[in-house]
Amino acid sequence: MTEWATRKPAALCAMAAASMILFVHTAVVGQDPEAQVEERQDVMESFGASSKALPADGRQGSGTGGDVRRAAAVIRQGAERLPGLFPEGTGVGVGDSKALPAIWEQPEDFAERIRTLQAAAADFSSAADGGDRETIARSFAELGRACGGCHEQYRERDD
Ligand code: HEC
């Protein structure tokens, strides 16, 4: 067999993979905006529930080391999904979205907020694995600031 002939299947395979990626991407973009708002709010709810499951300072006092690690894992995984959860056209006015237009007016700053959360979630996660109470408390407070900082700018307040 020539070299080309042996390579051909691999090239075809790569093309098939590329068109699948394109298809998946289109499917996500074509998703119903209200469903996207709900999906995003579910992720945020999982953050809220995980944070509330811990004592205010993130210490293990009333919980166990396992609770802290579980909460940290939920937040870290959810934070990784955030960049894909704010497509344009899902702001205030769609379903019960509280996402302010500023998100799409200042996309770079918004992306930075997400990165800040991801970094804080990763730190909290390592602290949770390490098990040192002081470090857990400090990184939990930092995580809370990453949540609050973004809400302050980009989430409509409940009045
Ligand atoms: C990058 C910005 C950003 C970060 C960081 C962020 N949020 Fe949010 N959050 C939002 C926005 C925007 C909304 C409104 C979403 C909507 O209504 O579609 C929201 C909504 C929520 C809600 C309400 C969900 C609902 O059902 O209406 C909760 C609870 C929440 N966030 C908790 C958290 C917690 C806890 C953290 C930190 C671990 C966090 N968020 C980090 C932007 C952020």
The CA-based diameter of the chain, rounded to the nearest angstrom, is 73
Q: Terminal CA-to-CA distance of the chain, rounded, Å?
A: 73
Q: Which atom of ligand 1 is nearest to the CA of 50?
A: 35
User: What pLDDT is attached to residue 88?
Assistant: 96
Q: How far is the CA of 15 from the centre of ligand 1 (A)?
A: 38
User: What pLDDT is attached to residue 60?
Assistant: 53
User: What pLDDT is attached to residue 39?
Assistant: 96
Mutate to test the pocket of ligand 1, among 106, 139, 143, 151 (most ligand atoms within 8 A of CB): 151
Q: Which atom of ligand 1 is nearest to the CA of 37?
A: 18
pLDDT of the chain, 159 residues: tens digit per residue: 445 445 555 555 555 555 444 444 444 556 899 999 999 999 999 999 988 877 765 555 545 677 888 899 999 999 999 999 999 999 999 999 999 999 999 999 999 999 999 999 999 999 988 888 888 889 999 999 999 999 999 999 987
Count of other CB atoms within 10 angstroms of residue 15: 10
Ligand 1 shell residues, CB under 6 Å: 37, 40-41, 44-45, 47-48, 51, 75, 97-99, 113-114, 117, 143, 146-147, 150-151, 154-155
Count of other CB atoms within 10 angstroms of residue 156: 14
Nearest CA to ligand 1 atom 25: 41
Name the residue among 117, 49, 108 with its Cα closest to residue 77.
Answer: 117
